[in-house]
Chain A
Amino acid sequence: MPLTPEDIAHVAMLARLGLSDEERSRYGAQLDAILEHMTRLNDVDTSPVGETAQVGELVNVWREDISQPSLSVERALANAPAREADFFRVGAIQE
């Protein structure tokens, strides 16, 4: 079931990718091929296998509620693309 141009545009929008028409058709075809490849899994009989999102078989990996030192404000903001006082600065957002 090939992806429609609308599907590609929607996925690009969700990922905030500004694609040109040419890129859209090139990456669209690639994404199509990936999904096509994955459909091979439909041929495998998975009826005896339980549904899971993890294969590590780990459960209850947790930590105690202990507060640790944080980064300094300078270190935290060191990679900020833009900064104002001790805040990260981003484009204006209308609330």
Chain B
Amino acid sequence: MSSTATHGTDTLRVGDREYQAVIGLEVHAQLLTRSKMFCGCSAAYVGAPPNSNTCPVCLGLPGTLPVINRQAVEYTVRTAVALNCEIPEFTKFDRKNYFYPDLPKGYQISQYDLPLSRRGWLQFHVDGEQRRCGITRVHLEEDTGTMYHAGDVLQSATSSLVDCNRCGVPLMEIVGEPDLRTPEEAREYLIWLRRVLMYIGVNDGNLEQGSFRCDANVSIRPRGSDQLGVKVEIKNMNSFRAVHHALGYEIERQRQVLEQGGALPQETRGWVETQQATVSQRSKEYAHDYRYFPEPDLPPLQLEAALVERIRGELPELPDARAARLRRQHGLGDYDAGLLTATREEADTYESVVATGVGAKLAANWMLGDVARLANEHRLPLQQSGLGVAGLAALLRLLEAGTISGSVAKELLAELYRDGGDPAALVEQRGLGQVSDAGALSSLIDEAIAQGSKAVADFRAGKEAALQSLVGYVMKQTRGRADAQLVNRLLRERLGG
């Protein structure tokens, strides 16, 4: 199915009428706590042997009582203030009842009518334009266990397997308003939301492993209408690409159903990567009846204003604000500032390099150019490379001071990135210092002229470009150490150009 909806404008055509899509996203993000939400079991379930991080509380054994993890509450408050939410003083937990083997208790502890926060917004950018999406609520709940179904692992088709290590891992639900209109907007919203969560240190942003998950509600309606169409919920999207493709597919599917005079049922559909299509999940068609009621085992929370204000005060500079400051302070362009603030580590690195006195533009060019390429090549960020942040700063200072040439800097960067070492010591030891003394270059200039009689003749005949081969000769003889601009000037003087 072609997806005309995914490109450019948000206008869809159903017959001769204009339609538009309405998208709302729900994000589930695991919190980076050491222990689980309601018990002391380790929350580090990835890679742990099956059922090795469990206890009577998270296994739902009779007679056990949950106790709230304070850090999880603080992380959720931190998220709520970062997303400009209101935080009511009183909040409580509720039971969401359903039978499914991924939660042995038979219910999930979640929040229903009095969530920890409401009514916020997230600012993001689409193609350089600023957008804002409302946040309905951010609440706190517990994650479920992991199920393995027939075909996933070795077991027979007549059973499913349960690993309870993930049961009770603190999980934040961030419900967005249906303010998004295109798959691009949805993708950018998610990218910026993930960026904020990682900046404030509450989530590791891993879509593949499922620590950051997204469901979407999608409907289409005639343009100008303020009624929502019948909404379809889409699940199983575990990359930004998948979200983008799934929404593009689903919007076009809905458009075609309406164009052919059909009706859209309210349903849940799963994105199937191998088919690049959403598929109806019939087993979940009948309406849920969760029978929420206040969790009797947990006293409510009374979040004092002082606590909220302390957490607000500890909030780091957020990516959007930081990019704006880099543009202002260092004269960077939109694009560079955006890339340099994509992660907090990247922005910290950039600012600490600049703080050592390296020029802002120079540092930006090297970080986004050669350093980014090496990080990608070695699958290793600069911070963990042999070079390190201090090494990069030292190398760029040598370059800026004219101690080494650009081509030597480039070579050293690649070597140090891999093997480590002290840039200044290496330059000294190998004699890589830039030759910018006219006397020292004089005999090489003579040599260049002597071996390049054709280039000399061409240059004298007015062919400017011919000079480059003579400069190249000197650079080659000095293994890139000569000051190329000086060589250029000396040659011109000698040739009377």
Q: Which residues of A contact B (CB under 8 A)?
A: 10, 14, 16, 53-54, 56, 58-68, 70-73, 76-77, 79, 82, 84-95
Contact = CB atoms under 8 A, between A and B. Distances in A.
Contact of B302 (A59, A63, A70): A59
Interface string B443-477: 00000000000000000000000000000000000
A73 B51 contact: yes
Interface SS of chain A: helix, strand, loop or mixed? loop
B160 A67 contact: no
Interface string B58-97: 0101000001111111000000000000000000100001
Given A53-B296, A65-B71, A71-B54, 17 more contacts: A14-B97, A60-B299, A63-B67, A67-B35, A70-B55, A71-B56, A79-B61, A85-B50, A88-B51, A88-B101, A88-B161, A88-B164, A89-B160, A92-B150, A92-B159, A93-B160, A95-B149
Residue among B54, B61, B158 facing the most chain A CB atoms (10 A cut-off): B54
A94 B152 CA distance: 12
Interface string B29-59: 0000111000111110000011111111001
A64 B71 contact: yes
Contacts of A84: 155, 159, 161
A73 B97 CA distance: 27
Contact of A92 (B42, B73, B158, B164): B158
A87 to B, nearest CB: 4
Contact of A68 (B35, B147, B293, B302): B35
Contacts of B69: 62-63, 65
A60 B68 CA distance: 8
Contacts, number: 135
A76 B164 contact: yes
B68 A92 contact: no
B53 A70 contact: yes
A1 B456 CA distance: 108
Nearest to B100: A93
B289 interface: yes
A14 B287 CA distance: 12
Given A67-B35, A70-B42, A87-B161, A93 B296 contact: no
Given A14-B289, A88-B162, A61 B67 contact: yes
A66 B39 CA distance: 9
Contact of B301 (A59, A65, A92): A59
Contact of A93 (B61, B97, B149, B298): B149
B274 interface: no
Given A63-B67, A70-B53, A89 B161 contact: yes
A86 B160 contact: no
Contacts of A62: 67-70, 73
Nearest to A74: B51
B294 A54 contact: yes
A10 B288 CA distance: 12
Nearest to A93: B160
B49 to A, nearest CB: 6
Contacts of B70: 62-65
Nearest to B158: A92
Contacts of B300: 53-54, 59
A59 B299 contact: yes
Interface in B416-443: none
12 contacts: A53-B92, A61-B68, A62-B69, A63-B40, A66-B40, A67-B40, A68-B55, A70-B41, A86-B50, A87-B162, A88-B162, A89-B161
